[in-house]
Amino acid sequence: MNKTIVAVSTPLGKGAISIVRMSGEKALEVALKFFNCKGQVEPRKMILGEFDLGDAKEKCLMVYFKAPFSYTGEDVVEFQLHGGITVTRMLQERLIEGGATLAEAGEFSKRAFENGKISLDEAEAIIDEINSESEGELRSALSSASGKLHEKIRNLQNQLTNLLAEIEVSMDYPEEDENEIVRDSIFEKLQQTQRELEEILNNAKQARFIKNGIKIALVGKANVGKSSLLNALIGENKAIVTSTEGTTRDVVEGSIDYNGIRLNFYDTAGIRESDNDIEKIGIEKSKKTLEESDLVLIIYDGSENLNKNDENIKKIIKKPFISVINKQDKLRKLKPQENEITVSALQKQNIQQLKQKIFETIIKDKIDFNGLIVTNERQLQHIKTAKKQVDEIFKVKNESLEILSMLIKKVWNELGKITGETENEDIISVIFSKFCVGK
Ligand SMILES: Nc1nc2c(ncn2[C@@H]2O[C@H](COP(=O)(O)OP(=O)(O)OP(=O)(O)O)[C@@H](O)[C@H]2O)c(=O)[nH]1
Ligand SMILES: [Mg+2]
């Protein structure tokens, strides 16, 4: 028999209401040791009563979900109370005294999975939802929660099942030429699987942007206004600005959310020839930041003509970039070319347009929030492995049907690690341990 578990399900300290949740066979029994109310407790009906905390009594609401009609599929009791952290903790303590056990991280959802209430993929989407910081990420988590990825991977598994059946049948009729026809047909279908896996992997790149945000390096020669631009973009005076060349030495970071996507900006030391040791280190750091970024803003001082430093910088950049001509409030010597934008970091002109340009450059119209997005590193790894396994099969096209069949089964199993179809205890435990307690 499963233990009856308890946890606070709402973030402690935030919000006016806290929810304490219990799940397991003894949930109602434990609850009624402390909860007094008038009238009968009926499933799915909120009931007002008093909870005996020992020293005090707390007015609260209780609701009972009878198995299997609950989140976990077990008997569930939830208390809603208005008290702050202390009262919430006390209530939880009382339930533990009464026989419940403190839940481990993710245990509620693990039970929901074990009782067939949610798929493994949905469970992971719930983790993402809990941990997500920006709106875009949340939406992608929700879209996954509706089981889209799961459905897609299930379909791929079904395709493979059909293939396996086809091979199975043909092995019963081992005429030579028949076999060749089957082989062609197998590889034709396998190619479809390969394409679909590749498509999912391409989408995953976008998902990484949603989850971790985009790394944007601000580079340019000294004094063009990189630090001023960082400050303008994040709306905060984070980086030091002076009229002296070589002000910035360390990389300064600032982030904003734009259209639900996190933009992480990195202001760097101006790149130029320098004899100063500290500045040299700063310039090395700039180059490293450049390497790690997804997008680069190359900043020019529009009030001056381009010089050798500007040209050298342009040469070392091998990433997608946007040229930003700063100081448009001053005398204009540089005319914007295609894919260039003029701004004034000092007077905060065109900053909004720059953000929009950044957004469009990275995302273009590739992100489809309703589309299929893998939000999670573990799923991604399995899809990558499955794709590799399929690629390998193409390299051994002439192997016997038995061997091909075995290799295809391997792919099936790999995908099963996402849908939960292979029910390997190991992965299941790993996933659920990532939940916060109470979910
Ligand atoms: N007129 C005008 N001046 C600007 C603008 N942006 C920056 N400046 C000035 O240019 C000087 C250098 O600005 P910073 O932001 O420190 O330039 P930086 O590129 O970070 O310089 P380093 O860190 O030394 O490489 C300061 O005096 C700023 O006030 C602008 O849009 N218009
Ligand atoms: Mg600077």
Burial of residue 177 (number of CB atoms within 10 Å: 0-12, 13-18, 19+): exposed
Residue 144 banded pLDDT, cuts 50, 70, 90: low
Average pLDDT over residues 145-155: 75
Token pair of 209, please? 């942007």
Q: Which of 17-31, 153-167, 168-182, 249-263 holds the top average pLDDT?
A: 17-31
On the question of pLDDT at 125 being above 90, the answer is: no
pLDDT of residue 366: 44
Tokens read off for 330: 């001053």
Cα dihedral 426→432→437→439 (10° resolution): -150
Segment of 116-120, 143-147, 350-354 carrying the highest mean pLDDT: 350-354
Give the β-pairing of 214-219 and 295-301: parallel
Phi and psi angles of residue 181, each rounded to the nearest 5 degrees, phi first: -65, -45
Q: How many whole angstroms from 240 Cα to the centroid of ligand 2?
A: 7
Question: Which of 14-28, 308-322, 355-369, 410-424 is predicted least confidently?
Answer: 355-369
Count of Cβ atoms closer than 10 Å to residue 274 Cβ: 17
pLDDT of residue 152: 85
pLDDT at position 176: 58
Out of 233, 299, 346, 350, give the residue to mutate to test ligand 1, the one with the largest number of ligand atoms within 8 Å of its CB: 346
Pick the residue whose CA is nearest to atom 8 on ligand 1: 225
Q: What is the pLDDT of residue 210?
A: 61
Give bridge partners of residue 261 from the DSSP assignment: 258
| Ligand 1 near 326 CB (within 6 A) | yes
Taking only the tens place, the pLDDT of each residue in 62-73 is 999 999 999 999
Alpha-carbon distance of 3 to 430, in angstroms, equals 20
**Structure confidence by residue, pLDDT tens digits, 343-354:** 999 999 999 999
Q: Which residue has the higher pLDDT, 149 or 21?
A: 21
Cα dihedral 347, 349, 355, 358, rounded to 10, equals: -110
What average pLDDT score do residues 101-107 get? 82
Ligand 2 ion: nearby residues, β-carbon < 5 Å: 226-227, 247-248
Q: How far is CA 206 from CA 200, 317, 320, 362, 406, in A?
A: 10, 22, 15, 9, 33
Instruction: Kindly state if the Cβ of 204 falls inside 6 Å of ligand 1.
Output: no
Q: Which residues contact 91 (CB under 8 A, 6 or more apart)?
A: 20, 51, 53, 58, 60, 79, 81, 83
Spatial contact of 176 and 160, defined as CB atoms under 8 Å apart = no
Dump pLDDT digits (tens) for 189-207. Answer: 999 999 999 988 877 666 6
CATH number of 213-363: 3.40.50.300
**CB distance 242 to ligand 1 below 6 Å:** yes
249 C-alpha to center of ligand 2: Å?
8
Question: Which DSSP category does 6 fall into?
Answer: E
Whether the link from the prior residue into 320 is cis, omega within 30° of 0, is no
Residue 266 alpha carbon to ligand 1 centre in Å: 16
What confidence tens digit (pLDDT) does each residue in 356-406 have? 898 877 765 443 333 445 556 677 788 999 999 999 999 998 898 889 988
Mean per-residue pLDDT for 79-95?
86
User: What is the rounded distance in angstroms from the CA atom of residue 409 to the CA atom of residue 171?
Assistant: 16
Q: How close is the Cα of 136 to the center of ligand 2, in Å?
A: 31
Whole-number pLDDT of residue 286: 82
Does the Cβ of 226 fall within 6 Å of ligand 1?
A: yes
- Say how many Å lie between the CA of residue 234 and the centre of ligand 2: 15
Which ligand is nearest to the Cα of residue 229, counting in written order?
1
Q: Is 224 in the pocket of ligand 1 (CB under 6 A)?
A: yes
Mean pLDDT value across residues 73-84 = 90
Q: Is there a contact between 203 and 374 (Cβ–Cβ < 8 Å)?
A: yes
Q: Is 342 in the pocket of ligand 1 (CB under 6 A)?
A: no
CATH class name, domain 5-103:
alpha beta
Alpha helices (runs of H) in 40-175, residue ranges in sequence order: 85-97, 107-114, 120-131, 135-145, 148-172
Measure the CA angle with vertex 63, ends 62 and 67; round to 5°: 140
Q: Is the CB of 327 under 6 A from ligand 1?
A: yes
Domain boundaries, the chain: 5-103, 129-209+376-432, 213-363
* Sheet with strand 47-52: strands edge to edge: 35-37, 47-52, 57-65, 76-81, 18-23, 5-8, 101-102
Q: Which residues of 104-126 are buried (b: 16+ CB within 10 A; e: fewer)?
A: ebbbbbbbbbbbebbbbbbbbbb
Is 80 exceeded by the pLDDT of residue 259? Answer: no
pLDDT of residue 381: 82
Report CA 153 to chain centroid distance, whole Å: 18
Distance from residue 248's CA to the centre of ligand 2 (Å): 4
Asked if the model's pLDDT at residue 291 lies above 90, the reply is no
CB distance 223 to ligand 1 below 6 Å: yes
SS3 (DSSP) at 148: helix
Task: Identify residue 85 by its one-letter amino acid code.
Answer: I
Q: Which CATH code fits 129-209+376-432?
A: 1.20.120.430
Give pLDDT, residue 109.
85
Please tell me which residue, 144 or 217, carries the higher pLDDT value. Answer: 217
Indicate whether 113 pLDDT > 50. Answer: yes
Enter the DSSP assignment of 329.
T
Average of per-residue pLDDT values in the chain: 82
> Could you tell me which of 89, 99, 67 has the C-alpha nearest to residue 438?
89
